[in-house]
Chains A and B, each alone.
Chain A
Amino acid sequence: MTQWLEVCDLTEIPKLGARVVNHGALAIAVFRNADDEVFALEDRCPHKGGPLSQGIVHGRRVTCPLHGWNIELIAGCAVPPDEGCAREFPVKIEAGRVWLDPVAAASAVA
């Protein structure tokens, strides 16, 4: 039961950056890395809820702006030794447009 919603043009997300996408009360960070891959995580750091969208993106990771945890953009889990995961959402690029499924949160890992 996927519900793909069109978000924006890929170019509207800065390379090595992110945009916040609001869906009702939910804030989702949609990231774009140097290789033009996109990733979507709930905009809440597993540490103390920091806005991951505001972090620095490198490789397939983002560094949280509040206390510097590194979060894997795939699956949303903190790089060890830190522990915890941010919810991941399905996201894809089609013909240069970014699509997001804000409902089917991929298996939220505890």
Chain B
Amino acid sequence: MDMSTPAKKMKLVMVGNGMAGVRALEELLKLAPDLYEVTVFGAEPHPNYNRILLSPVLAGEQTVDDIVLNPLDWYSENNITLHVGQKVVKIDRNARAVETEDGMRVGYDRLLLATGSNPFILPVPGADLPGVIGFRDIADVDAMVQASSQYQHAVVIGGGLLGLEAANGLMKRGMQVSVVHIGPWLMERQLDEPAARLLQKSLEEKGMKFLLQKQTAELVRGESGRVCAIKFKDGDSAPADLVVMAVGIRPNTELAESSGLHCNRGIVVNDTMQTFDPRIYSVGECAAHRGIAYGLVAPLFEQAKVVANHLAQHGISRYQGSVTSTKLKVTGIDLFSAGDFMGGEGTESILYSDPIGGVYKKLVIRDNKLVGGVMYGDTVDGAWYFSLLRDGKNINELRDHLMFGQDHCGNLGHSGINKAASMTDDMEVCGCNGVCKGDIVKAIREKGLFTLEDVRKHTKASGSCGSCTGLVEQILAVTVGGDYSATPKTKSMCGCTEHTHEEVRAAIRQNKLLTIPQVQEFMQWSTPNGCASCRTALNYYLISTWPGEAEDDPQSRFINERAHANIQKDGTYSVIPRMWGGNTTPSELRRIATVAEKYNIPTVHVTGGQRIDLLGVKKADLPKVWADLDMPSGHAYGKALRTVKTCVGSEWCRFGTQNSTQMGIDLEKAFFKMWAPHKVKLAVSGCPRNCAEVAIKDVGIIGVDSGWEIYVAGNGGIKTEVAQFLIKVKTEAEVMEYSGAFLQLYREEGRYLDRTVHYVERVGLDYVKKKILDDHEGRKALYERLVFALSVEKDPWLERTQEGKYAQEFAALTV
């Protein structure tokens, strides 16, 4: 493409034109499109295709053309020289060149081995007969389809995932299929016995036969020279015109081993996917990382990202292993399993079993964390359980409802439409962005998407409020098969860094980092100045860790927090002044009325937070509007303290037990100007009738005759969550200290954009209680840190109207 580049490009050769390798090239092209001259060798005579979908191709549900991921054009468009049907047989490591079977020789500066794996063929007599195959590639599928048109009896050896998918496909092609399995039940690496029995029963109903606990002794040669029967060690035998061996796979290390690379159940690689020869990298099923060769694409794609990063000479990312889960792709069968599903010592299990209805679920818990699970018949919540498991969430408080799934843990607005497979194409999945199931399926198919992140990028589904994430993951799983949600256990802050929120916060504290460029340099950010998502988080982490010392960076604030007003769809802004505790005065109301008329403000709205919103203000008018209002900023635009709702309480109400209004006003004045990981809302009610709706607030206070009850981590938004009881205290000073300490804990430990409910869900209420209730010194210290942090904050509206700070922000230029 770029003929003028004077510098000679380095040469990258890739052996193996399969899923992991090509994904690595795609990632590399994104990072450094012009660094290498790329040559690819593939033993198969095809461009890269989706191997996973061989099962539906075999079952006649899709065609080979449907499953091509990178057509030949893709290679030429990206200047990649592709040699299909060419097996590499030698690596000359001294001369740095590879050689093919046909004698072609190509030199390399970097070599990527992505040779995948081979089906394991049982070493029994007759294993080499015609009609005995594995289930790995298009050639195998062709052979099976061919056999199904001529012969009747098929035997599949191996009752695991692959074997059952092969058996199902052959059955659909009209053959009589027996599955031979050495174990006591099917898929014993993914299922416990009860789930496996249900599976067996429904497959038997479809016509599949099972020969369990049978050991193959010999494959018998028929008159034609083709296999004709299978014999077992116990003397039994069965007719077999086709034998598919699906007893496991072996990393394909033949080439690597013959060239002297260190292999041990795979080509041994380090966390950067480098082999023992530093010029040679390896990804995919052939690679053994920390002793594991993965056999599912999700972890392989993670590896591909890492290897691309190093090939692109960014040199910052590491692969640290993955947690995987399993789904069986047999139409009409719903099965999901992940983690340690058997359980055993030190674990507890929650079971749900309905053999007649064909539903079985088992969740395995250790130390209040979900460590495994198996589901049969109803896997709607698989993705949700898997995310709980992967993130190591404390599930203590969910426990009672856990078995009944995510819907029972408070997810408003989406109930009833969560069975991805049964949804029709025109059903809406993402309410925020108006994305229907059909749009998602189409994007996945046409653009060859595999990860949630990709689907989000292309369709926007689940990219906004995120409540449909589980559903999108399910659609992904149903459409491409398998499970693609697996990511390394720790999530980095964003694409600009490998570090997690916690690592970044710790570095800021320990090394006293005070500016965003300092953090980015210290932690080796991969982008020049971050992106919209990490910069906003970093700015918060800095000002909350070093109040008064780290300077707030307006350019790393979302526009609302830069303009101190909410941007509207037409580019105008809204202004919500503070009304302490929801109380106002005739004079304030008069000023609001005057301002609304003077600046032609089109809409005046009473908000859900007990105050008044002026909508449609021009940006240039904002400082004038604030000055005329002469009221404090309501921070309705900020990740900050929003409202403290109150009821009229004992001052007026015949049931009131406490002066809830005053308590609310005092709290709001005390915590005014408080920035936080996300917005924070409080409420105070004067009696348990709870007119101020404290049960859905970040901190909710209920006045009772003998004092005040404090509730925390409620949420009334996307996912309604009832606040949890923290403690009952006697005095107002205690209300202040306990609430303040809780909020400071959240400010110090919450991840940016997690609300209190998410923070408490992650660490567990017990932990919060330990910090706030049991540790008296700690609580006081937390509260003091909050008081200090607030003492250095100023009312942003005042700063801008009286001190003229950032005047440029509001003034347009004219030419």
Compute how far the CA of A51 lies from the CA of B460 in the bound complex, rounded to whole angstroms.
20
User: Which of these, A15, A19, A50, contacts B812 with CB under 8 Å?
Assistant: A19
A58 touches B815 (CB 8 A): no
Q: Which of A33, A58, A100 has the most B CB atoms < 10 Å from its CB?
A: A58
Q: A61: shortest Cβ distance to chain B, in Å? A: 8
0/1 string, A4-45, CB within 8 A of B gives 1: 011110001011110111110001001001110000000000
Given contacts A58-B527, A65-B558, contact A22 B567 (CB under 8 A): no
Give the distance to chain A from B812, nearest Cβ to Cβ, in Å.
Answer: 4
Report the minimum CB–CB distance from A41 to chain B (whole Å): 15
Task: Determine if B528 and A54 form an interchain contact, defined as CB atoms under 8 angstroms apart.
Answer: no
**In this complex, which of B457, B529, B813, B815 has the most chain A Cβ atoms within 10 angstroms of its Cβ?**
B815
Complex CA–CA separation, A19 to B556 (angstroms): 16
Contact of A21 among B447, B809, B813 (CB under 8 A): B813
Q: With the chains together, A67 CA to B460 CA distance in Å?
A: 10
* B814 touches A (CB below 8 Å): yes
* A57 on the B face (CB < 8 A): yes
Do A54 and B559 touch across chains, with their CB atoms under 8 A apart? yes
User: Residue A7 contacts which of B457, B562, B569, B815 (CB distance < 8 angstroms)?
Assistant: B815
Query: B808 and A56: CB pair below 8 A?
Result: no
User: Roughly how many angstroms separate A49 CA and B563 CA in the complex, as a whole number?
Assistant: 19
Shortest beta-carbon distance from A12 to chain B in Å: 6
The answer to whether residues A14 and B536 also contact, given A21-B815, A22-B812, A65-B559 and a CB cut-off of 8 A, is: no
Q: A15-B555, A19-B813 are in contact. Are A59 and B529 (CB under 8 A)?
A: yes
The CA-CA distance from A67 to B463 in the complex, in Å, is 10
Chain B residues with CB under 8 Å of A30's CB are 813
Are B808 and A12 in contact, CB atoms less than 8 angstroms apart?
Answer: yes
**Interchain CB contact under 8 A, A102 and B535:** no
Residue of A14, A49, A54 near B808 (CB, 8 A) is: A14
Let me know if A55 is at the binding interface, CB within 8 A: yes
Q: How far is the CA of A108 from the CA of B75 in the complex (A)?
A: 30
B-facing residues in A46-71 (Cβ within 8 Å): 48-51, 54-59, 63, 65-68, 70
Is A56 within 8 A of B815, CB to CB? Answer: no
State the CA gap A12–B530 with chains docked (Å): 23
Candidates B460, B463, B530; contact of A58 at CB < 8 Å? B530
A100 close to B528 (CB less than 8 A): no
Tell me whether A57 and B555 are in contact in the complex, defined as CB-CB below 8 angstroms, given that A7-B813, A16-B529 are known contacts.
yes
Nearest residue in A to B572 (C-beta to C-beta)? A51
Chain A residues with CB under 8 Å of B528's CB are 34-35, 58-59
Cβ-closest chain A residue relative to B553? A16
Q: Are B571 and A50 in contact (CB under 8 A)?
A: yes
When distances are taken between beta carbons in the complex, the residues of chain B under 8 Å from A5 are 815
Q: Is B554 an interface residue (CB 8 A)?
A: yes
Residue of B nearest to A11 (CB): B808
A81 at the interface (CB under 8 A from B): yes
B531 at the interface (CB under 8 A from A): yes
| A88 CB to nearest B CB, Å | 16
Residues of A within 8 A of B530 (CB): 58
**A54 near B815 (CB under 8 angstroms)?**
no
Considering the chains assembled together, what is the distance between the CA atoms of A100 and B813 in angstroms? Answer: 12
Closest B residue, CB atoms, query A100: B815
B419 is an interface residue with CB less than 8 A from chain A: no
The answer on a CB contact under 8 Å between B813 and A56 is: no
Are B555 and A56 in contact (CB-based, < 8 A)? yes
Contact between B535 and A20 (Cβ–Cβ < 8 Å)?
no
Number of residue pairs A-B, CB distance < 8 angstroms: 87
Given contacts A19-B812, A23-B814, are A56 and B532 in contact (CB under 8 A)?
yes
Complex Cα spacing A59 to B527, Å:
7
Q: Does B458 belong to the interface (CB within 8 Å)?
A: yes
Across the interface, name the chain B residue whose C-beta is closest to A14: B555
Q: Given A54-B563, A58-B535, A63-B532, decide whether A20 and B555 contact each other with a Cβ distance below 8 A.
A: no
Q: Which A residues lie within 8 Å of B555 (CB)?
A: 14-17, 56-57
Give bound CA distance, A12 to B809, whole Å.
Answer: 10
**In whole angstroms, how far apart are the Cα atoms of A49 and B572 in the complex?**
12
Check B569 against A66 for contact (C-beta < 8 Å). yes
Q: How far is the CA of A6 from the CA of B554 in the complex (A)?
A: 26
The residue in B458, B463, B812 that gathers the most chain A C-beta atoms within 10 A of its C-beta is B812
Q: Which residue of A lies closest to B570 (CB)?
A: A49
Do B529 and A58 touch (CB < 8 A)? yes
Closest chain B residue, CB of each to CB of A17:
B555
Q: Which residues of chain B are within 8 angstroms of A65 by Cβ–Cβ distance?
A: 558-559, 567
CB-CB nearest in chain A for B555: A16
CA distance A40 to B585 in the complex (A): 47
CB of B457 within 8 A of CB of A56, answer no
Q: Mark B431-471, 1 if CB is under 8 A from A, else 0.
A: 00000000000000001000000000110100110000000
Known contacts A19-B812, A81-B458, A102-B815: A55-B559 contact under CB 8 Å: yes
Nearest to A102 among chain B residues (CB) is B815
The residues of A that contact B554 with a CB separation of less than 8 Å are: 14, 17
The answer to whether A54 and B567 touch across the interface, beta carbons within 8 angstroms, is: yes
List chain B residues, Cβ under 8 A from A16.
529, 555-556
Q: Which A residues are in CB contact (< 8 Å) with B812?
A: 19-22, 27
Q: How far does the Cβ of A78 sit from chain B's closest Cβ, in whole Å?
A: 12
The answer to whether B571 touches A51, judged by C-beta atoms less than 8 angstroms apart, is yes
> What residues of chain B lie closer than 8 Å to A23, measured between beta carbons?
814-815
B801-815 CB mask vs A (1 if < 8 Å, else 0) is 000000011001111
CA A6 to CA B460, docked complex, whole Å: 40
Complex-state Cα separation, A50 to B571, whole angstroms:
7
In angstroms, Cα B619 to Cα A65, docked, is 14
Report the Cα distance A17→B815, complex, angstroms. Answer: 19
Distance in angstroms between the alpha carbons of A59 and B558 in the assembled complex: 17
With both chains docked as a complex, state the minimum distance between the C-beta of B462 and any C-beta of chain A, in angstroms.
Answer: 13
Most chain B CB neighbours (cut-off 10 Å) among A6, A35, A54, A100: A54
A sample of 13 cross-chain residue pairs with beta-carbon separation below 8 angstroms, ordered by A number, consists of A16-B556, A21-B814, A22-B813, A30-B813, A34-B529, A51-B567, A51-B571, A54-B559, A54-B562, A56-B559, A59-B529, A65-B567, A66-B567
Counting from the closest, the 6 A-B pairs by CB-CB distance are A63-B532, A56-B532, A16-B555, A54-B559, A65-B559, A5-B815
Inter-chain pairs besides A12-B813, A55-B532, A66-B567, 11 sampled, C-beta below 8 Å: A5-B815, A8-B813, A14-B555, A22-B815, A54-B559, A58-B529, A58-B535, A65-B559, A68-B532, A70-B531, A102-B815
Chain B interface residues toward A at CB < 8 A: 447, 457-458, 460, 463-464, 527-532, 535-536, 554-556, 558-559, 562-563, 567, 569, 571, 808-809, 812-815
